[in-house]
Amino acid sequence: MKRIDTHTITGLLRKHGICPTSQRVKIAMALFSSMTHPSADQLLGAVNSRKAEVSKATVYNTLNLFLEKGLVREVIVDPSKVLYDPNTSDHHHFYDIVTGELSDIDASKVSIPVLPPLPGNRIFDGVDIIIRTRPAAA
């Protein structure tokens, strides 16, 4: 649980061209202080843990807005739900296929030496590397 103050968050939102309404600030606070990769549903629960403050639709809309504005990244490892990654620096992921746990890998540790030629008339957009693991004990 990282300590993040409201002022930092509102500044961050504004810097990305997002009007910092109270709901958006609450969602951003939950996301950036989590240090994990929460799903929309987990965020909804985190924000409303004390009392209902934000609706489900607003969480989804807000996350899509953050995504569009480059404030968060989407991590797609489980077909049943999308995870959101508050870390936008260059990095990759370990994914435990049994527990569903996701953790970061610094990009410097797994860089690809040579980018293969892109097919057709395409331009590079990014690379996702997911290293799948399983718990060691049977």
Partner DNA sequence: TTCGTTGCAAACCCTTTGCACGCAC
Partner DNA sequence: GTGCGTGCAAAGGGTTTGCAACGAA
In the complex, the residues that contact DNA under the rule CB under 7 A are 18-19, 21-24, 39-41, 52-58, 60-62, 64, 79-82
Q: Rounded to the nearest whole angstrom, what is the least distance from the CB of residue 102 to DNA in the complex?
A: 14
What would the two tokens of residue 125 be? Answer: 């957009």
Site for a second copy in 83-122 (CB under 8 A): 94, 96-97, 103, 105, 109-110, 112-116, 118-119, 121-122
Q: Would residue 90 be called left, alpha or beta, if left means φ above 0 and alpha means ψ between -120 and 50 degrees?
A: beta
CA distance 41 to 48: 11
Tokens 């290293």, residue?
Answer: 131
Please report, as residue ranges, which positions from 9 to 68 form the binding site for a second copy (by CB under 8 A).
none
Strands 91-96, 102-106: pairing kind: antiparallel
Residue closer to DNA by CB (options 56, 118) is 56
Least distance (Å) from a second copy to the CB of residue 75?
10
